[in-house]
Structure 1
Amino acid sequence: IPLFYMGLKILGKEFAIKTLITVGMQSMFLVVVPIPAVPLIEDYLTACIIGGIIAGTGTGLVLRGRSSGGGQDIIGLCCSKKYPNISVGKINILMNIFVYAICLFLFNIEIVIYSLIYTTVLAMAIDRVHIQNINTSVMIFTKKMGISRAIIEQTGRGVTNWDGEGAYTNKTSYILFVMISKYEVGQIKQIVHSIDPNAFMIFTEGCHVDGNFEKRL
């Protein structure tokens, strides 16, 4: 309940409602879906890798839909909102390392190692699928005006622009720079192409940012 309240205050009402629905559905399926009598995959390492990929992909899709499964996901999203270079997967790993350190005194060390492998694969899958969490810088080269204003009005993102000159043609062009999330790449392409179908764009993923950048999760 405290985590849910934190998500409501920091991430908004829509997120809170979707999270309630997601948690309810998860609880229902945990009751309905039967537990196999014997493991589907006998090898621990293989099970950890496949399980981490499946669980991480599912969690990432839920996060992409602006919802969460509760618990650590809410903490990860709140931290990501405040610190742009922090991801849900990273928070997941940090919290679980603390838990597994305690488990070292309670369980076999082999189980703890396999759990760490599972958590690492899970975190990597979450961060690859949760594309709102991936910072992306965009450089746009165009000979037409109006793109900067359109991006600002339609996305609310800030744009830096300066004049350039083609080395081969010696013609003036406009160079625009904007920082977005990977989730907004399609929208940026649509805006630019609607004004200049011949514009040249460079997208760079995984950028670290420092300063006034709004993380839209």
Structure 2
Amino acid sequence: MKTSDQPAIAVLKDIGYITAGILICGFALKSFLVPNSFFDGGVTGISLLISELYHINIAYVIIPANIPFIIMGIFQVNGRFAWKTLAAIIGVGICLQFIPYPQDITHDKLLVCIFGGVFMGTGIGLAIRGGCALDGIEVLALFTLKRSSFTISEIILGINVLIFSVAAFKLGLPTALYSVMTYYAASHTINFVIEGLEEYTGFTIISGKSEEIKEKLVLEMGRGITIYKGERGYLKESFDVHHPVDIIFTVVTRLEVRRLRNLVYSVDPNAFMFTSTIKEAAGGVLKKRARH
């Protein structure tokens, strides 16, 4: 493949992700959340709340509700992100207005909050993979982060607590609680869609049989490894006794975690291992995966 073709293919992939995200978000809103007066978190939740309280079509609310955060995104991220986000939000509004999504799929509250959240999270996650956002809450969090001591998660949590508190006061506590479940399902689905099955886990292994473990990791699993020089020993009953040891670090996908653990324990049942979550990894001999 020519190098000049790669940017065009990347653009097409982004468009595909964003289009799929828009359609799925529209489906989640119009087929699950809106007919049952359920809410999500973030700006989408604010839009749903306004639509329910003042009986305004959600298609007319969701676009203007996101405009301030899109403008903020120009300064917090970049202009390209903001324009893509604007186009995606308008796309959601068009879908909600003109696409005849089915509205009588189910009125079971548990099914609505679970599947509404899953579809909503899938749509938002695909849009993020395409390089934009379908909810301005992340941009607001970035803006507030630079002006306060709170983390992004704390900021988003605080905003959502406010949204669900208003929903509980205006529409009743059961509706607010079900909406919290919807948001929980959506947020976990977003993480899964963005990271996928290829989410990475870092493994640190300390063993007296490190040479055998290194050989199996590289030759049997095909993993790259990094070695730290350390010492083992220093036990309470023999504090002065210690030995040099190679501390092994490697990165695997979540599908390989069990295989690696079994491989290490087959060599040394007393090996000490601990894992760490890897949010971003590239290069080396990692399995290739798309990053958007």
- Shared fold, TM over 0.5: yes
Corresponding residue for 1:123? Answer: 187
Query: The residue matched to 1:60 in structure 2 has which SS?
Result: helix
Q: 1:102-122, CA deviations, whole angstroms, 9 ceiling, x for partnerless residues?
A: 222211222111111111111
Question: Which 5+ residue runs of structure 1 have no aligned equivalent?
Answer: 144-160, 166-171, 195-215
What is the CA–CA distance in structure 1 between the aligned matches of 2:144 and 2:202, rounded to whole Å?
21
Matches within 5 A, 1:14-53: 14-36=80-102, 39-53=104-118
Matches within 5 A, 1:27-176: 27-36=93-102, 39-76=104-141, 86-87=152-153, 92-131=156-195, 164=229
What is the CA–CA distance in structure 2 between the aligned matches of 1:175 and 1:84, rounded to whole Å?
35
Write the letter of the residue equivalent to 2:109: Y
Shift of residue 137, structure 1, vs aligned partner: 5.2
Shift of residue 13, structure 1, vs aligned partner: 2.1
Which structure has greater helix proportion? 2
C-alpha distance 68-78 of structure 1, shift in aligned 2 (>3 A): farther
C-alpha distance 91-40 of structure 1, shift in aligned 2 (>3 A): farther
Question: Which 5+ residue runs of structure 2 have no aligned equivalent?
Answer: 1-66, 205-212, 216-225, 231-244, 252-275
- Kindly indicate whether the alpha-carbon contact (under 8 Å) linking 1:61 and 1:130 is maintained by their aligned counterparts in 2: yes
Shift of residue 54, structure 1, vs aligned partner: 0.9
1:192 paired with 2:285, answer yes
Corresponding residue for 1:205? Answer: none
What is the CA–CA distance in structure 2 between the aligned matches of 1:78 and 1:181, rounded to whole Å?
25
Q: 1:180-205, CA deviations, whole angstroms, 9 ceiling, x for partnerless residues?
A: 964x43x32xx3379xxxxxxxxxxx
CA RMSD of aligned residues (A): 4.4
Structure 1 length as normaliser, TM-score? 0.57
Write the letter of the residue equivalent to 1:19: T
Write the letter of the residue equivalent to 1:124: H
Structure 2 length as normaliser, TM-score? 0.44
C-alpha distance 176-65 of structure 1, shift in aligned 2 (>3 A): same
Corresponding residue for 2:76? Answer: 10
Corresponding residue for 1:153? Answer: none
C-alpha distance 21-84 of structure 1, shift in aligned 2 (>3 A): farther
What is the CA–CA distance in structure 2 between the aligned matches of 1:53 and 1:80, rounded to whole Å?
28
- Percent of residue pairs identical: 27
What is the CA–CA distance in structure 1 between the aligned matches of 2:175 and 2:118, rounded to whole Å?
19
What is the CA–CA distance in structure 1 between the aligned matches of 2:150 and 2:131, rounded to whole Å?
17
- Kindly indicate whether the alpha-carbon contact (under 8 Å) linking 1:76 and 1:91 is maintained by their aligned counterparts in 2: yes
Write the letter of the residue equivalent to 1:99: I
Corresponding residue for 2:60? Answer: none
Q: Which has the larger radius of gyration?
A: 2
What is the CA–CA distance in structure 1 between the aligned matches of 2:76 and 2:200, rounded to whole Å?
20
Count of residues paired in the alignment: 168
Q: 1:79-131, CA deviations, whole angstroms, 9 ceiling, x for partnerless residues?
A: 689999745xx755442221121222211222111111111111222233233
Shift of residue 50, structure 1, vs aligned partner: 0.7
What is the CA–CA distance in structure 1 between the aligned matches of 2:100 and 2:155, rounded to whole Å?
30
- Kindly indicate whether the alpha-carbon contact (under 8 Å) linking 1:92 and 1:123 is maintained by their aligned counterparts in 2: no
Write the letter of the residue equivalent to 2:136: G
Compare 42-51 and 67-76 and name the one that shifted more.
67-76
Write the letter of the residue equivalent to 1:40: I
